[in-house]
Amino acid sequence: MLPRYRRSFYPRLALIAIVLVCILIFTKTINKSTDPPSESEGLSLSNAVVDVSLRKKWSPLERMVLADLAKQRPGLGDDGKSVILEGEEKVRGEAKLQTIALNEELSEHLSYNRTTPDARNPLCRTITFDRASLPTASVVIIFYNEPYSVLVRTVHSVLNTADRQVLKEIILVDDGSSNVELHEKLDYYLATRLPQDAVKTVRLKNRLGLIRARLAGARIARGEVLVFLDAHCECVVDWLEPLLARIQESRTSVLVPIIDVIDAKDFQYSANGYQHFQVGGFSWNGHFDWIDVPKRERERQRQDCKVPTEICPTYSPTMAGGLFAISRDYFWEIGSYDEQMDGWGGENLEMSFRIWQCGGTIETIPCSRVGHIFRDFHPYSFPDDRDTHGINTVRMALVWMDDYIELFYMNRPDLKNNVDVGDVTHRRILRNKLKCKNFDWYLKNIYPEKFIPTKDMIGYGRFVSLASDLCFDDLQQNNEEPYNLGLYTCQKSDVTKSQFFSLTRDGVLRNELSCATVQRSSSTPFLVVMAPCQANNKHNEKWEYFRGQLRHIDTGLCIEQKGLRSHDFVVVDVCEDDTLSQKWRIEH
Binding of ligand UD2 by 323 (CB under 6 A): yes
Shortest distance in whole angstroms from residue 373 CB to Mn ion? 7
Segment contacting ligand UD2 by CB under 6 A, of 93-101, 137-145, 185-193, 441-449:
137-145
Q: How far apart are CA 312 and CA 283, in angstroms?
A: 26
Binding of ligand UD2 by 263 (CB under 6 A): no
- Partner in contact with 345, chosen from Mn ion, ligand UD2, none, beta carbon below 5 to 8 Å by kind: ligand UD2
Binding of Mn ion by 230 (CB under 5 A): yes
Binding of ligand UD2 by 345 (CB under 6 A): yes
CB neighbours of residue 523 within 10 Å: 6
- Residue closest to 42 by CA, chosen among 170, 146, 183, 196: 196
- Residue closest to 582 by CA, chosen among 566, 564, 562, 565: 562
Shortest distance in whole angstroms from residue 408 CB to ligand UD2? 16
Binding of ligand UD2 by 238 (CB under 6 A): no
- Partner in contact with 343, chosen from ligand UD2, Mn ion, none, beta carbon below 5 to 8 Å by kind: ligand UD2
Amino acid at the residue 282: F
Of 36, 135, 140, 143, which lies in the binding site for ligand UD2, with binding defined by CB under 6 A? 143
The answer to whether 79 touches 73, Cβ cutoff 8 Å, is no
- Partner in contact with 209, chosen from Mn ion, ligand UD2, none, beta carbon below 5 to 8 Å by kind: ligand UD2
- Residue closest to 365 by CA, chosen among 81, 169, 129: 129
Binding mask 164-203 for ligand UD2 (x = CB under 6 A): -----------x----------------------------
The answer to whether 223 touches 359, Cβ cutoff 8 Å, is no
Shortest distance in whole angstroms from residue 524 CB to ligand UD2? 47
The answer to whether 272 touches 302, Cβ cutoff 8 Å, is no
Number of residues that this document lists for the chain: 588
The answer to whether 185 touches 192, Cβ cutoff 8 Å, is no
Q: What is the CA radius of gyration of the chain?
A: 31
Measured from the CB atom, is 354 or 372 closer to ligand UD2?
Answer: 372
DSSP line for 53-79: GGGGGS-HHHHHHHHHHHH--TTTTGG
Binding of ligand UD2 by 515 (CB under 6 A): no
551 φ, ψ to 5°? -105, 130
Of 159, 210, 471, 508, which lies in the binding site for ligand UD2, with binding defined by CB under 6 A? 210
Say how many residues touch ligand UD2, by CB under 6 A. Answer: 24
Measured from the CB atom, is 374 or 545 closer to ligand UD2?
Answer: 374
Shortest distance in whole angstroms from residue 62 CB to Mn ion? 31
Q: Please report, as residue ranges, which positions from 371 to 430 form the binding site for ligand UD2 (by CB under 6 A).
A: 372, 378, 380
- Partner in contact with 286, chosen from ligand UD2, Mn ion, none, beta carbon below 5 to 8 Å by kind: none
Measured from the CB atom, is 101 or 529 closer to ligand UD2?
Answer: 101
Q: How far apart are CA 270 and CA 277, in angstroms?
A: 12
Q: In sequence order, what are the residues at sequence separation of 6 or more whose Cβ sits closer than 8 angstroms to the Cβ of residue 136?
A: 166, 167, 168, 223, 224, 225, 244
Binding of ligand UD2 by 552 (CB under 6 A): no
Shortest distance in whole angstroms from residue 231 CB to Mn ion? 7
Q: How far apart are CA 167 and CA 223, in angstroms?
A: 8
Q: How far apart are CA 336 and CA 409, in angstroms?
A: 26
Q: How far is CA 81 from the centre of its chain?
A: 21
Q: Which residues bind Mn ion (CB under 5 A)?
A: 230
Q: Which residues bind ligand UD2 (CB under 6 A)?
A: 142-144, 146, 175, 207, 209-210, 213, 230-231, 259, 320-323, 343-345, 347-348, 372, 378, 380
